[in-house]
Structure 1
C-alpha cells in the first residue's frame, strides 16, 4: 500500500507540474485563446504519457483555463465580452470582500514575506523577465489575500483569479501595465502598514481593471 501511495503521489505531482507549465504559458500569451492543445504534441513535447496529458488538461478545465469539446479536443479558453464582465464583477466582489476582511494594521513580521515578494517582482520587472514577474505577481496576491482568516473566501479568490489566465495574457507583456502593477502593489503594502482598509480595497479593485479592459478592447476590434 505504501508503494502504491508513493506511485500515486509521484503521478499526481507530474500532472500538477504539466498543468502549471501550460497554465503559465497561457498567462504569458505563449498559448492563445481558442488555440487547440493537441494531446500528441503535448506528449512529445513534455515526454509524457497520454493519461498524464489528459489529466493535466482536465485539471486546467476545472480551473477554467481550458475548454474541452467532445470529439474535437481541448482549447485555450476564450471569453465573450459578457463573460469577461461577469467574471470580473465576481472577482471585484470577492477581492474587495477579502481585502476588507484582513485585520489591519498588519504587523511587520506578517508583512515581511509580502515585501520580499514585491522586491522580487521589482527585480523581475527591471530585468524585463516576464516569466519571473508573472510568478512573483501570483505569489504576491497569494500572500496578500492569505492575510485574511476567511479560508473559504481566500480559496474563492484564488479560483476565480485562475480562470482569467488567458484574459490577463494581454497585459503580462505590457511594460506600462507592469509598472502600474508594481506601483499598486506597493500602495497595497502601505495601506496594510497604515491600517487604511478603504484604500486597500480601492487599490485592489482598480488593480483588476487593466486586464479586463484590454481583453474587451481586443474583442471590440477583433
Structure 2
C-alpha cells in the first residue's frame, strides 16, 4: 500500500481527525518515506478534498464547516439519487450477483469488526451499484464527492449502530434492484447519506466555535 493510500485509509477510519496537523518530518519518519513522496501524497489528498494546506502553517486533515457539509451532501444527493434512477431494472442476474458477493464481504467485515475490510467492501459496493447505470462520467463524479466526504464519514465508521444500518440498507438496495423498484432504490440512496452528515453536524454543534 502506498503512502497516499495509507494516509487516506487513516482518515477514512478516523485514525486522523479533522484539523489534525500532518507534519512532513513526522510522516517521513512514520512511513520511512522521502520528502518528495510525502509532499506528493499531501498534494493529492488536498486535490481529493481530504487535506487542506495553509501557507507558512502546513497541512491539516480537512475540517468542514456546517455549511460546507450541507452543500457537499446536497450535491452527493443530487448525483446519487439521479444515478439510481438511471439504472435499468430489473438488473441482470449476473451483475446483481456481483453486488451480492461484495455485500457478503461487507457483512463478514462488520461481523468480524474488521473496519478496513468494511470500508473496502463499502467502497466497492457503491462503485458497483452506481456502475450499473453505465454512465462512467456520473460514476466518477459520485466517487469524487464521496472521497471528499471521507473525513466526515469517519465520525460514524466505528459505530455499530451505523454499520448495522448501512448493511441493512445495502440489502434493501439489492432487493429494490431485484424487484425493479427504482423509486425505492432512489429513496434508499438518499436516506443512506443522512447518518454521516447528521453525525458530523452534531459533533460541530457540540464542539462549539473552533
Same fold flag (TM > 0.5): yes
Q: Could you tell me how far apart the structure 1 residues matched to 2:176 and 2:119 are?
A: 23
Secondary structure of the structure 2 residue equivalent to 1:170: coil
Alignment-derived partner of residue 175 in structure 2: 190
| Structure 2: unaligned runs, 5 residues or longer | none
- Superposed displacement of residue 130, structure 1: 1.3
| Structure 1: unaligned runs, 5 residues or longer | 1-13
Q: Could you tell me how far apart the structure 2 residues matched to 1:20 and 1:94 are?
A: 25
- Superposed displacement of residue 180, structure 1: 0.2
Alignment-derived partner of residue 31 in structure 2: 46
- Superposed displacement of residue 172, structure 1: 0.3
Q: TM-score, normalised by structure 2?
A: 0.97
Indicate yes or no: 2:123 matched with 1:138: yes
Q: Could you tell me how far apart the structure 2 residues matched to 1:153 and 1:18 are?
A: 28
Indicate yes or no: 2:9 matched with 1:27: no
The count of aligned residue pairs is: 207
> Which aligned pairs between 1:104-143 and structure 2 lie closer than 5 A?
104-143=89-128
Alignment-derived partner of residue 135 in structure 2: 150
- Superposed displacement of residue 72, structure 1: 1.1
- Which of 54, 57, 64 is the aligned partner of 1:69? 54
Q: Could you tell me how far apart the structure 1 residues matched to 2:113 and 2:155 are?
A: 16
- Superposed displacement of residue 173, structure 1: 0.3
Q: Could you tell me how far apart the structure 2 residues matched to 1:100 and 1:73 are?
A: 42
Q: Could you tell me how far apart the structure 2 residues matched to 1:104 and 1:173 are?
A: 33
- Which of 88, 105, 109 is the aligned partner of 1:103? 88
C-alpha RMSD over aligned residues: 0.9
- Superposed displacement of residue 71, structure 1: 1.3
- Superposed displacement of residue 188, structure 1: 0.5
- Superposed displacement of residue 134, structure 1: 1.1
* Structure 1 ranges of 4+ moved more than 2 A: none
- Superposed displacement of residue 205, structure 1: 0.5
Deviates more, 1:44-53 or 1:209-218: 44-53
- Superposed displacement of residue 92, structure 1: 0.3
Deviates more, 1:38-47 or 1:88-97: 38-47
- Superposed displacement of residue 129, structure 1: 1.1
- Superposed displacement of residue 213, structure 1: 0.2
Q: TM-score, normalised by structure 1?
A: 0.91
Secondary structure of the structure 2 residue equivalent to 1:159: helix
Q: Could you tell me how far apart the structure 1 residues matched to 2:86 and 2:160 are?
A: 32
Q: Could you tell me how far apart the structure 2 residues matched to 1:36 and 1:97 are?
A: 37
Alignment-derived partner of residue 3 in structure 1: none
